[in-house]
Structure formats: structure tokens, C-alpha cells
Amino acid sequence: SSQNLSEEFAEAARQLKKEAPRIQFGKIDVTHQHDLRKEFNIQAFPTVKFFVNGSREDPIDCKGVRKASTFITWVKRRTGPSTVLINSTDQAEAIIKADDLAVIGFFKELHNGSVEVFCETARDVPEMPFGMTASEDVCANYGVHRNSLVVFKKGKPVHNEVLEDGKQSKLGLTRLIKTFTLDLVTEYNIETSVKIFDVPVENHILLFTPMNSETFNEIYENYQSAAAEFRGKMLFVVVDTDEARNGRIFEYFRIRDIDVPAVRILNLTSDARYKMPADEVTVENLREFCQSYLNGKAKQHLSSEEIPQDWDKMPVKVLVGKNFNSIIF
């Protein structure tokens, strides 16, 4: 809530006052400040913006940050180095074990395009520690080829991404890394819904199924296998159709009891929905569905009633989803 965020923001201001007095925190109620709201294009609340070098032009948006500690990290990485330089295995271990998640960049040299993208990504992911190293010993200790990014979870490497100069974008890496704040497949509920929307992956795939059915384990295993293949490109969510509180999400996708298990893809930006053409939830069917969607070949799913038999008898024609395009366009 806004109140919560406001308190965390104030706490960050208190802590940074001693450490970094040059950074000023302020808050504005824009209810009556229409000019400011327009100038800075404020559309959602609360919005946090960071102004650099006394300029009103192009402030940096601080998105998805909710805790005081994360605000502090976010600001420090904007005003100083965004990653810790690692020279020894002990140093690397300390970073990897300090938190649930850690990201380490292993490089041949510390001055190339990949390093730049890595450091920029660190600025946008204040939730976890970032370190980088060009030490041969450290790379050898973890058996990592240089010029790769490794995500560690609970002290163990869970993902290795080879960094090729000019190949990865900051957004692509940010998406990939942030997906590790969620499980490989996330169960949709009141608590996780906020987290799901905080991860900047716009393609969500949802499996609707009763979680206590006899076939659930097999279906879920297939779904997890596909999730591992498309990590960072799509967010895999499972929705328990036996849970009454999930009713609104079924309505949104027009899922009926007879449909389950059902798989849908939702694009958050365009709000377009897609239905998996195959009925069986196999790894092959999921892979084909995700691939055709990412290649722009999947057909949009427009929930529609059947076309009424007498739709064109009267001067005003009756339109439903299924005949809308052919009649209007």
C-alpha cells in the first residue's frame, strides 16, 4: 500500500542522512499539483523518481522498490559503483552466502561491453547483491568460463548465462535475474500476485488445474520442464481451480470447469490472450505453444459466444467475437 511504501521511503531517508547527506528525499502530494503531475507524467501512485545533478529533465524511475533497504541499495548503485569488485574466493563466498540470491559476473577483463551491461543491470536489480571478478583463481574455483553471469541461490549456482559482447540487453538480463526471486513455477494467490507483477516479464503463461487431482503431479512436472527452458522469456504460473478465491482470474480468462487442465498465455502490455491449441499438457505441446507465441505465430484467443442464428434478420445486426472481424472489417 501507499502508506507502507511511504514509511519505508522515510526509513531509507533517515538511514541515508548519515551515510550520504548529499542525497535528499522529498515527497509530494500531487492531488492538487496538476502542473507537476503533468510535467513528470505521473500516472500511477505511488511513483518514485530520482533527479540527478539538479536537473528536472529525464528523472530516473525507481520501479518495484518496496523496502527501505532496497531503496538504499538502489540509490547507492546510482551514485556509486553498482557492483562489488571481487579479488579472492573468500570475498566471492562472502557475497554468495550473505543472501538467498547473489549474482556474480566472471570476466576476462573488466572493460568491455558485457561488463557495462552487467553493471547497468545491477543498478536495476537492487534486491540482490552483485559482484564481478576477472581473477583466474576465482573463475577456476567455481569452474566458470570467463564472460558469464552466474546466479547463486542459497549458495549454489542455479543459472549460468554466457555474456557475449553486444548480444544481451540490460532489460533481457534484468528480466532473467528477477525471475529467480520467484519459483520456477509460481502458484497464483493473494501473496504471490504482487511479486508476479513486479517481475518485468510481460509474457505470462498460466496453467489452470485442480491441484489435488490424480494427474496433477505428472502435468506439473511437464510444466516445470517447459518453465526451465523458457526462463526469463516467460513467467510460468499455476492456478488452483479448486481454490474459490481464484474465481476472478477464471472469469477473466473465461475458464469453465469443463476446460481444466487449461493453458493460456497473457501478454501484459497488449492484454492479448492465447489458448494452447492442444489439450494435453505435455512438454512437447507446451514447448510448441510457447515457441509459436514468441515467434509471433500464435493465434489470439477471443472468448466468444456462438453466433446467434438470426443475427442479421433485423436492421441492427447482432455481433459477437466470432463474427465481429468478418462483418466490421
Residue 312 lies in a domain: no
Domain that holds residue 249: 185-295
Residue 310 lies in a domain: no
Total number of domains in the chain:
3
pLDDT surpasses 60 at 304: no
Give the burial class of 309: count Cβ atoms within 10 A of its Cβ; 0-12 exposed, 13-18 middle, 19 or more buried: exposed
pLDDT confidence of residue 290: 97
Residue 320 lies in a domain: no
- 282, 189: one domain: yes
pLDDT confidence of residue 321: 62
Q: Which of 136, 151, 179 is the last residue of a domain?
A: 179
In angstroms, the CA 312 to CA 234 distance is 42
Crossing angle (nearest 10°) for helices 2-19 and 68-79: 50
Q: DSSP characters for 56-68? A: -SSPEE--S--SH
pLDDT confidence of residue 325: 61
Over pLDDT 90: what percentage of the chain? 60
- 72, 88: one domain: no
Residue 121 lies in a domain: yes
pLDDT confidence of residue 97: 94
How far, in whole angstroms, is CA 258 from its chain's centroid? 31
In angstroms, the CA 167 to CA 17 distance is 40
Contacts of 27 (CB under 8 A, 6+ apart): 6, 9
pLDDT confidence of residue 173: 94
- 289, 197: one domain: yes
pLDDT digits (tens, 9 = 90+) for 169-226: 899 999 999 999 999 999 998 888 888 888 889 999 999 999 999 999 999 999 999 9
pLDDT digits (tens, 9 = 90+) for 276-302: 999 999 999 999 999 999 999 998 887
Bridge partners of residue 106, in order along the sequence: 133, 148
- The C-alpha cell at 126 is 537492487
CATH number at residue 265: 3.40.30.10
pLDDT confidence of residue 323: 65
Q: Which of 44, 79, 114 is the last residue of a domain?
A: 79
328 — pLDDT class (breaks 50, 70, 90) = low
- 147, 249: one domain: no
Residue 318 lies in a domain: no
Residue 317 lies in a domain: no
324 — pLDDT class (breaks 50, 70, 90) = low
Count of residues making up the chain: 329
In angstroms, the CA 182 to CA 176 distance is 11
pLDDT surpasses 80 at 306: no
Residue 295's CB: how many other CB atoms inside 10 A?
A: 8
49 — pLDDT class (breaks 50, 70, 90) = very high
- The C-alpha cell at 205 is 503463461
Q: Which of 108-112, 228-232, 262-266 has the lowest mean pLDDT?
A: 108-112
Over pLDDT 70: what percentage of the chain? 95
- 167, 206: one domain: no
- Which pTM does this prediction carry? 0.81
